[in-house]
Amino acid sequence: MTVKCLGYLGVQTPDPASWEPFGTGVLGLAVTAKGDDGTLYLRADERRHRLAIHPGEDSRIRYAGWEVADEAGLTAMTERLNGAGVSWTEGDREECVSRGVERFVRFADPAGIPHEVFYGAVVTYDPFVPGRPMSGFVTGQQGLGHIVFIVPDAKAAHEFYTKAMGFKLSDIVDTAFHTPGYFYHCNSRHHSIAVLEVPGVAGLHHLMLEVNALDDVGIGYDLVKQGGYPLSMELGRHSTDQMVSFYVVSPAGFEIEYGWGGRQVDDETWHVVRADRGEIWGHKIVGAGLPDTVKPVAAG
Ligand SMILES: [Fe+2]
């Protein structure tokens, strides 16, 4: 038994409030609540929240939350971690309340990227009303979206994500500026996680949010430009997952890929391939390099 999907993401940044007009007015997420400490909680569907923007000294990932079905699933994951020699600790009551889950455990990948596995997310029966007029997000069994990490050692990451966490390799892509990229799935979404190797650094590169209509992407693209938010990659279509998307640097340092039309995979028929490029068209790089959420790591 392995993780079923990406459930939530927590990041920190000096000014969480700066995320609100971007998250709602551009992306179409909705504010659930603001914590006493200034944390901004945002929803994308029936879950109480999917994204938590915490206050912190710098911009970095706090945790990526991976969902299992139930308590037995959590036990199976901790046994899997034990078998792979990965140490983990259990979240306390207060932390579970903050995450909006019944229970979770935390651990880190070989580069120190923090992960959590949880079950029992809080759902709300208040209808989801997007923060701007749009058709909503593709979530459900495919989870929140996908996240991409920069890691200093893709081989070590591959061992960890496949053996300790149970992800399946979808494909390998020779990308334009980080070579190569490894893409992994845990449900029908083409990838829920990917890693790109860059020596000496590690951290969150982007969160991909998939919307229900191509026009939501196009209108979002216009809003990014009207709002003066820094684009990182222009509109384009990826090769293997076929997502039509653009990349924008969010006010918390990490990038958002905002996309539509992602391919789904079926393990019965799927073959791993190595793609000779990351894009079919577009995705011209216009940004200034790696996001602030990618940090130097100690040489090992
Ligand atoms: Fe992506």
- Report the chain (300 residues): mean pLDDT per 10 consecutive residues: 93 97 98 94 98 98 98 98 98 97 98 98 97 98 98 96 97 80 97 96 98 98 98 97 98 98 96 94 92 86
Q: How far is the CA of 246 from the centre of ligand 1 (A)?
A: 9
Alpha helices (H) along the chain: 19-25, 71-83, 93-99, 154-159, 214-227
CA distance 193 to 183: 6
Q: How far is the CA of 208 from the centre of ligand 1 (A)?
A: 5
And the tokens for 295? 């940090």
The DSSP 8-state label assigned to residue 97 in this structure reads: H
Q: How far is the CA of 100 from the centre of ligand 1 (A)?
A: 26
**How many beta carbons lie within 10 A of that of residue 36, not counting itself?**
5
Element (H, E) at 31: strand 30-34
And the tokens for 199? 């020596």
Q: How far is the CA of 94 from the centre of ligand 1 (A)?
A: 32
What's residue 9's pLDDT? Answer: 98
Q: What is the C-alpha R_g of the chain?
A: 18
Q: How far is the CA of 206 from the centre of ligand 1 (A)?
A: 7
What's residue 299's pLDDT? Answer: 60
CA distance 227 to 94: 37
Q: How far is the CA of 257 from the centre of ligand 1 (A)?
A: 6
> Closest by alpha carbon to 89, among 70, 69, 63?
63
Taking the chain, what is the end-to-end CA distance rounded to the nearest angstrom?
32
Q: How far is the CA of 255 from the centre of ligand 1 (A)?
A: 10
CA distance 181 to 173: 5
Residues around the ion ligand 1 (C-beta < 5 A):
208, 257
Residue with tokens 């938010």: 229
CA distance 108 to 283: 31
Q: Residue 138: CA atoms inside 13 Å, Cβ hemisphere, count?
A: 24
Q: How far is the CA of 294 from the centre of ligand 1 (A)?
A: 15
Q: How far is the CA of 196 from the centre of ligand 1 (A)?
A: 11
Q: Residue 243: CA atoms inside 13 Å, Cβ hemisphere, count?
A: 25
Q: How far is the CA of 163 from the centre of ligand 1 (A)?
A: 22
Amino acid code (one letter) for 100 = G
Does this model's pTM top 0.75? My answer is yes
Q: How far is the CA of 147 from the centre of ligand 1 (A)?
A: 7
CA distance 158 to 167: 9
Q: How far is the CA of 145 from the centre of ligand 1 (A)?
A: 9
Q: How far is the CA of 214 from the centre of ligand 1 (A)?
A: 16
Q: How far is the CA of 62 from the centre of ligand 1 (A)?
A: 19
For 179, phi and psi rounded to 5 degrees? Answer: -125, 135
Q: How far is the CA of 298 from the centre of ligand 1 (A)?
A: 26
Q: How far is the CA of 241 from the centre of ligand 1 (A)?
A: 9
Write the DSSP string, 239-273: SSS--EEEEEE-TTSSEEEEEE---B--TTT---E
Q: How far is the CA of 149 from the centre of ligand 1 (A)?
A: 10
Residue with tokens 């938590």: 52
> Closest by alpha carbon to 256, among 5, 3, 53, 39?
53
